[in-house]
Every structure is written in C-alpha cells, then in structure tokens.
Amino acid sequence: MARPMLQAWSSRTTGWMSLTVIAVSMVAAGWLVGLLSSGGAQAQSRTPATAGLLAVIDVHEVARQLGERDRLQVVLDAKQQEFQDRLTLLQQGYTEQYEARRDAIGTPASAEQQRELEQLSLSLNTQILQEREAAKVEYNQFQLELEEKFAERLRPYALQIATAQGFSVVVRRERVFAMAEGVDITTSVIAELKRIPEFTGGSPFVPARRPTVGVSQPSGGQFNPDNQRR
C-alpha cells in the first residue's frame, strides 16, 4: 500500500533569543529654580544628577560563543522528531480507517457512497492539518521556554557587569538603531561567563513535559485516498 507523502516541516529560530530588557531604575533628575529678590533677579540652580546610561548586549553572540545555541538546537531537533513520529502514526491510523470504510462499501460504489468516502477523506485530512497547526504552537512555546530560561540565567551576570562599568540599563543590540563606542558589553559578558561551568559545559534547561489533549504534531501531511491501495 502506498502511503501518503508527508510534507516536511522545519522550524528554525529566526530571532533566536528573547531577552527583552535587563533594567534597574534609571535616575535622571535636575532642574533650575529661579528666584527673584526685591533688589533684582538672582538665580539659583542645582547640578543635574547623573543620568542612567544604556549598555548594549548581543544575546545571539553570547549564546553562540558559549555553545548554548548548538545545545538548544539538539533539544529542539529531538522535539521536532518526536512530533514527526507521532504524526506518522496518526496518519497511518487515518489511512486504515479510510480503507476499512472503503472496503466495507466495496466496488462499484454508488454515487452516494462515493460522496461519503470523499467526505470522510476531507474530514480526516482536516484533522491532520489541525493537529499540525496545534503542534506548531506547542513547539514554538517549547522553544520560547528554552530561550527564556537562558535569558534568566544570563540576566544577573549581564546586569552585574554593566553596573560595574557605570551602566544602569542593558538592552538587546538588535533593538538599537545606533550607539556610541564603549557601550557594548557583549565581549565582557562572554569573557566572564566562560569562567562559569554552568555556561560552558552544562546541559540546556528542558521544560517539563506538558500534558497535551489529543495528539499534536508539528509536521503535517495531506490524507490522499487516491494514493491508497486499490
């Protein structure tokens, strides 16, 4: 029996890490108060407080230099294969269901019976596509959890290094339109983290498996009864 072909599905990270803003309060104060005396205008002023400075970090580069991106990709590839295997089993079950009904009808099928088979094929194909879309959501959520966990681990070190250099806010480099020299702390962060075993040889965080309703797949195929054994 010729099985229906599965459409390959691949999901790769487009914007790999999701570290939004590592921030502490940015203090910026200062104003000029003018006081007038009866003898004439006498101005008094206060010196503005030091404004908080922004540091920039390239999270993609940090992950690459530490090998974290490759470690996480191994986990993601395994998850994708798990979904693909589940889809294959699901489609095999649908194929058997269709063939059992077709064999029960026999040949030649009446016009009404042919319409019944067409409706069954449409229903099964729709279910497969729905499972695929549901699994894409599940896969993307799994990926975001991995990335957020890395961000949580990175955050305190990045802030500590930034503070030591006189900065009070750290932002992702991808979100910066332009910057002056000396505000990028990526190299400093990488150098510091390479001294910490947690970031150089540890396994990536893997979120706990969440219970799923039904079978959710990240790869989908079309249920094509015309390709089935006659």
Give the CATH number, domain containing residue 80.
3.30.910.20
pLDDT value of residue 19:
34
Give the least confident one: 12-16, 68-72, 151-155, 196-200: 12-16
pLDDT value of residue 224:
53
Q: Is the pLDDT of residue 27 over 60?
A: no
Rounded Cα–Cα distance for residues 82 and 78 (Å): 6
Percent helix, percent strand, percent coil in the chain, to nearest 5: 50, 10, 35
How many structural domains is the chain composed of?
1
Q: Which residue range(s) make up the domain with 180?
A: 48-210
- Is 177 part of any domain? yes
Give the least confident one: 19-23, 112-116, 189-193, 204-208: 19-23
- Is 43 part of any domain? no
Q: Is the pLDDT of residue 17 over 90?
A: no
What type of residue is 179?
A: M
pTM of the prediction?
Answer: 0.61
Per-residue pLDDT reduced to its tens digit, 212-227: 433 433 344 445 544 4
